[in-house]
Structure 1
Amino acid sequence: MGLLILVTGLVLFLGMHAVRIPDEQRRAGMIARWGKNKYRGIYTVLSITGLVLIVYGYGQARLDPIFVWSPPAATRHIAALLMLFSMILLAACYVPMNHIKARLQHPMTLAVKVWALAHLLSNGTLADILLFGSFLAWAVLLFKSARKRAIPMSFSGDGPTKVGTMMTVVVGVLAWLVFAAWLHVQLIGVSPFSR
């Protein structure tokens, strides 16, 4: 039952976030038909519902796991390193004037790709494969689509700075340390370094 709930949540959440992947005009057409507020309302409700179902379904599936493979211990260390890069990419979305965002254009999507890959490598249940595999496939398709319609970023002043880039790395490393050492256990119930 947990797997069915998880899959339903993934379809709702990723489906709503994939509307513009095949065709940018699809999203524009939906907004034109329904109006911006109605579209946003439907988008928000379905996304939140999907996310709740993902969290609940994954939690239920973990209670009675179906093991597909047993990851070697080394994959935990590889995942931890990948998560460091994912956190830096995530920080690049929010720290202003950094070269990482200027160069990669879509650091959030790349952060999701790295996060999903890291967790696919270090987890071997069917629920893990469904969850992280779905997010990885979605992020790959979204990144490819976003690159096709990419509009060069504009910066005020001189553009990205070394200070902005260094702050991005510092924020990313600190976030990784807090999450790996404490928050992952609090939110997920698993310590990345003690399994």
Structure 2
Amino acid sequence: MTALVLAALAWLLLHVVVAGPLRPGLIVRMGLPTYRGLFSALSAAALAALIWTYGSAPYIELWPTTSALAAVPVVVMPVALLLLVGSLRASNPTSAGPDMLMRGRNEELPVRGFTRITRHPMLWAFTLWAGSHMIANGDVATMILTGVILVTSVNGMFSIDRKRAAEFGDKWQRFIDKTSIFPFAAAAAQRVTLRFSDIGWINIIGAAALYAIFLWAHATLFGVPAYYP
């Protein structure tokens, strides 16, 4: 459990501090490409450490897993996977990397696809995964793992907004005015029109395929079935 706590603290330090207040100074010293490359490598190492230490942590129950609680991720994960698949497009200016394509251009940031639902679809996918599994698995190790993912995902939404505001200025503010952090809030407020084509059959089929794979392979990959009544 100590190793898992240390891995969780390293993950938090990297994503809240290094990617937060330390980021501007580090970019000045090493340059943006080097910073991004190093940050990606450290993130991969920290994630691997989280997964490995979680698998080795003792099971300490906080509450029993009931069939009702186990059903929560089964219901939530199709939505999370749809948001994840929909976020993987170059037109999404809140993902890591594609914003470089928009730097210096005169056109507005695109509000299409899943950015009409939320401007942070990938981080919402991680948030839903973490929250649903936190409910379903009432043990200390899962609370630590899902807790740090949940905290960094929610913090990342506001952190990305601050970074993009510094990079794009008024262009980003106009993008914010047309979108929302909370899913469907901009559409409900009629700031943007959401069409089925923004979701699309390809994304639905891709998410459904991933969901089927995880249902089938969950026990093999993670040691427990996706649902156990």
Corresponding residue of 1:12 = 10
1:26-65 alignment, distance < 5 Å:
26-36=22-32, 38-61=34-57, 64-65=58-59
* Cα separation, partners in 2 of 1:118 and 1:48, compared to 1, 3 Å: same
Contact 1:11/1:50 (<8 A) preserved: no
Q: 1:7 offset after TM fit, Å?
A: 1.9
Corresponding residue of 2:129 = 115
In 1: Cα distance, 2:38 partner to 2:198 partner: 40
* Cα separation, partners in 2 of 1:189 and 1:42, compared to 1, 3 Å: same
Contact 1:99/1:164 (<8 A) preserved: yes
1:103 aligns with 2:117: yes
Instruction: String of CA shifts for 1:127-155, please: whole Å, max 9, x gaps.
Output: 000111111122112123334546339xx
- Counting matched residue pairs gives 184
Contact 1:113/1:139 (<8 A) preserved: yes
1:172 aligns with 2:195: no
In 1: Cα distance, 2:132 partner to 2:6 partner: 23
Instruction: String of CA shifts for 1:28-76, please: whole Å, max 9, x gaps.
Output: 2211123345434542443233122211110111xx3111111322011
Instruction: String of CA shifts for 1:69-101, please: whole Å, max 9, x gaps.
Output: 113220111211111111011011125776323
Corresponding residue of 2:221 = 187
Contact 2:86/2:199 (<8 A) preserved: no
Q: 1:187 offset after TM fit, Å?
A: 1.6
Corresponding residue of 2:63 = 69
Q: 1:166 offset after TM fit, Å?
A: 2.4
In 2: Cα distance, 1:44 partner to 1:37 partner: 11
Corresponding residue of 1:93 = 87
Q: Which stretch shows the higher mean deviation, 14-23 or 104-113?
A: 14-23
In 2: Cα distance, 1:172 partner to 1:34 partner: 38
Contact 1:9/1:49 (<8 A) preserved: no
Q: 1:117 offset after TM fit, Å?
A: 0.5
In 1: Cα distance, 2:6 partner to 2:117 partner: 36
Contact 1:13/1:46 (<8 A) preserved: no
Q: Which stretch shows the higher mean deviation, 164-173 or 70-79?
A: 164-173
Give the number of the structure whose residues are more often helix, by fraction.
1
Q: Which sections of structure 2, spanning at least 5 residues, go unmatched? A: 92-111, 166-171, 177-194
Contact 2:126/2:153 (<8 A) preserved: yes
Corresponding residue of 2:197 = 162
Corresponding residue of 1:130 = 144
Alpha-carbon RMSD: 2.9
